[in-house]
Chains A and B, each alone.
Chain A
Amino acid sequence: MKIGVLALQGAVAEHIRMLEEVGATAVPVKKVEELDDLDGLVIPGGESTTISKLMHKYGFMEAIRQFGEAKKPIFGTCAGAILLANRINGQEDCHLGLMDMKVERNAFGRQKESFEVDLPVAGIAPDFPAVFIRAPYIMELGENGQVLAKYEDKIVAARQGHYLAAAFHPELTEDARIHKFFLDMVKEYRADKVQA
């Protein structure tokens, strides 16, 4: 399985390390052509405003929408989750709009309020070390979405078909279970395509 990590800005190397650890081939993606032979894509944490501007500039918005519409799995962490959402609280427009959810940016306060906590993640881990950094949360999740984790009653991880979103940063830990879960999603959707 070949999984790309969008490498316009943010924690790219950490995702590549984790994906390789669970047995995927992982490559950084800086140009739209590099999406062509991928089975899945990770949109990493970083600054969502910066990544979004560069995505617009280099034609990634349309290319990643097509990638998603071709049923290729996409995993967004933190800024990546914001980029996937179709609604952002307090803003009129969204970025990719691939996942039916409303997100709030910097929902847990500024950097000095950033924290880590062990959370149960449904079907993945009873005690995942979740690192929240100026993190968003999911205020509303569409009916096709499945809540995977909550913190203080706020949704912080969710899946909708072949899309996966986490408000926290599994790539900053030594725990590869969520990356393993994503790799399994990629395998599942690829198997479907091969059959079809």
Chain B
Amino acid sequence: MVQVGTSRVKKGMAEMQKGGVIMDVVNAEQARIAEAAGAVAVMALERVPSDIRAAGGVARMADLGIVEEVMKAVSIPVMAKARIGHFVEARVLEAMGVDYIDESEVLTPADDMFHINKKDFTVPFVCGARDLGEALRRIGEGASMIRTKGEPGTGNIVEAVRHMRTMQAQIRKVQSMSYDELMAEAKNLGAPYELLEYVHKNGKLPVVNFAAGGVATPSDAALMMQLGADGVFVGSGIFKSENPEKFARAIVEATTHYTDYDLIARVSKGLGTAMPGIEISKLREADRMQERGW
């Protein structure tokens, strides 16, 4: 019997992205640059996160004209963002044929209590998380891929590092726990018990875990890979840099060869200026996108 959009098919799609770089693009031209540089997928957006931050107001699903333009421009998978809890935006993106939906804190949440029931969809979802509990809640709702939230549009890697380190430390702790401790830990983390049991047995999340939110240089990408990321999302980091083509190629190479420092040094030379960064403490509480999501 043929089964479409099974959990294995959705998670498998994310497995195929491992070791790769997913790049934010806002038009066909950027999408082609990303594909030519070796991106494994592109995220079609109206504005990159740093511009969303600058524009303020309500950030919604992208103009579908842009999504369609990007889908026509490249043969690699195309992702798009829906607002947290906005299952109609997600259904519309699914109907358009996007390959992956990011239920994303970069957009203004549509629901301040609940996320989308992602199990109902045949298209896979990626969601952001800051710690193990949040990651397992999203997987419990049907997410097929997790990424750190970091702090999008800042070009500052510190939050992504914190989120990845937190998650990995919690995974190690759960792995070494005795069985009697698991239920109480599920309660502490706010995580579904069965998924925590999986982490205990396997020492990893049941889905692929990427880094996102602040990656701006090849070294940032390699750092996240060494901290345990399966791959990297780069939002504003490429097309807000001085030389997007060079930055894109260099970040792809540094992600593949993340422990080869000679190679990273070589690809990092003469790149020009990276995107402008923002110090996290300078952000007002209300401007911290990572606080969105429940």
Contact = CB atoms under 8 A, between A and B. Distances in A.
Interface of A: 7-14, 30, 45-47, 49-50, 53-54, 57, 78-79, 105-106, 110-118, 131-134, 169, 172-173
Given A46-B18, A49-B75, A114 B5 contact: yes
A46 B20 contact: yes
B256 interface: yes
Contact of B16 (A11, A106, A110, A113): A11
B252 interface: yes
B76 interface: yes
Contact of B19 (A46, A49, A116, A117): A46
B170 interface: no
17 contacts: A9-B20, A9-B40, A11-B18, A30-B256, A46-B19, A47-B41, A47-B76, A47-B77, A49-B35, A110-B98, A111-B99, A111-B123, A111-B124, A115-B4, A116-B6, A117-B1, A133-B9
A169 B17 CA distance: 14
B205 to A, nearest CB: 13
B15 interface: yes
A111 B257 CA distance: 28
- Of all A-B residue pairs in the complex, the 3 with the closest CB atoms, nearest first, are A111-B99, A9-B19, A47-B40
A134 B13 contact: yes
B220 interface: no
Contacts of A132: 9
A51 to B, nearest CB: 9
Nearest to A45: B16
Nearest to B6: A116
Given A11-B18, A54-B256, A105-B75, A112 B5 contact: yes
B157 to A, nearest CB: 22
Contacts of B140: none
A106 B15 contact: no
Given A30-B257, A57-B253, A106-B75, A113 B4 contact: yes
B139 to A, nearest CB: 17
B1 A46 contact: no
Contacts of A112: 4-5, 94, 97, 99, 122-123
A54 B122 contact: no
A42 to B, nearest CB: 14
